[in-house]
Chains A and B, each alone.
Chain A
Amino acid sequence: MSKEELLRIPIKMDLEYRYPTGKHFTHFFRVLKEEGKIMALKCPKCGYVFLPPRPACGECHVPLEEWVQVSDKGTVQAFTAIHFKFFDANLGRVRPVPFGSALIRLDGADSSLNHYLEENDVTKMHIGMRVQAVFRENRQGNIGDILYFRTIR
């Protein structure tokens, strides 16, 4: 053929799903929803406090059962601002950019939680900055119940 017509085939994948949170995250989300508290799991052997909660301690290989409440205030361990638009599965749509994202170590926890920051300007972020969780008014039992972490000035 002298002139080939090359096709582009438009495809729109629309994937809706529900995933069960399992035993540990269900407790975490239930307390978050009903009491507005952030709970973590403590290792009975090494005392490490896991947030997000994990079913077992990766170091000691023991199951975790002791729930401890951690603070809603914490310290930024790492941060970034997102400027590239992408689809947010939790929202079901594209999250408006820019937005700040950080690994946050809440007071009383030994591991870090990945969450959004109120601040979206990286020049105003630093490792060690103090932040506090801002809760949603009508909590539903998912990680969106914490809207973002505001900067403590």
Chain B
Amino acid sequence: MEAESPSFFIPGRIIIPFNYAAGAVASRFFVALRDHSKILGRRCPQCTRVIVPPRMFCVRCFTPTSQWVEVKSTGTLVNFTVVRRPEPHHPLKVPFAYGVIQLDGADTHLVHLLGEIDLERIQTGMRLRAVFREKRVGSILDIAYFKPEDNEKSS
């Protein structure tokens, strides 16, 4: 190795296959998504917040959530980031955007992909709608992405 190359690099690779048991609450969430294209949340009996994605416990009150609530597939963009650097674990080719989305009827935020969107014109507060996949398998990616609601009106 030449003097101008100060370091050796050791290539490494770790593949970890595993099954994650979704549990009772997340299973029902994914089944509703898969079979009915519905997004479900859980209500906390103490603070009355609707938590989406659903949790068995309210992390604020430490109270078990008590009730299933269907929320809308529309919502408001709370925050976002545009990913421009490719990494092997990304779900899409760069550039693409992640959004933090508050669905109508929910009191918490959901992180998901933004699609059919001009990456230079994303704004917090914009209205979004979930685009469901035709073939759903019981995964959070059964929602392909969220797209701006305005797209529908203009097209």
Q: Is the CB of A6 within 8 A of B14?
A: no
Query: Nearest Cβ in chain A — how far from B126, in angstroms?
Result: 30
Query: Given A11-B18, A14-B13, A19-B9, 18 other A-B contacts at CB below 8 A?
Result: A6-B22, A7-B27, A7-B30, A7-B138, A9-B19, A14-B88, A15-B15, A16-B11, A16-B88, A17-B12, A19-B10, A21-B10, A22-B7, A26-B8, A30-B1, A30-B8, A92-B12, A142-B10
Query: Nearest Cβ in chain A — how far from B42, in angstroms?
Result: 14
Pick the contact of B9 from A15, A18, A89, A90 — CB < 8 Å? A18
Chain A contacts for B6, CB-based, 8 A: 23, 26
Chain B contacts for A89, CB-based, 8 A: 12-14
The chain A residues found within 8 Å of chain B, CB to CB, are: 1, 4-23, 25-26, 29-30, 33, 87, 89-90, 92, 141-142
**Contacts between chains A and B (CB distance < 8 A), count:** 105
Whether B139 sits at the interface, judged by CB under 8 Å, is yes
Chain B contacts for A6, CB-based, 8 A: 21-24, 27
Whether B17 sits at the interface, judged by CB under 8 Å, is yes
Q: Which residue of A lies closest to B35 (CB)?
A: A5
Scan B1-45; emit 1 where CB is below 8 A from any A CB, else 0.
100001111111111111111111011101100000000000000
Chain B contacts for A1, CB-based, 8 A: 28
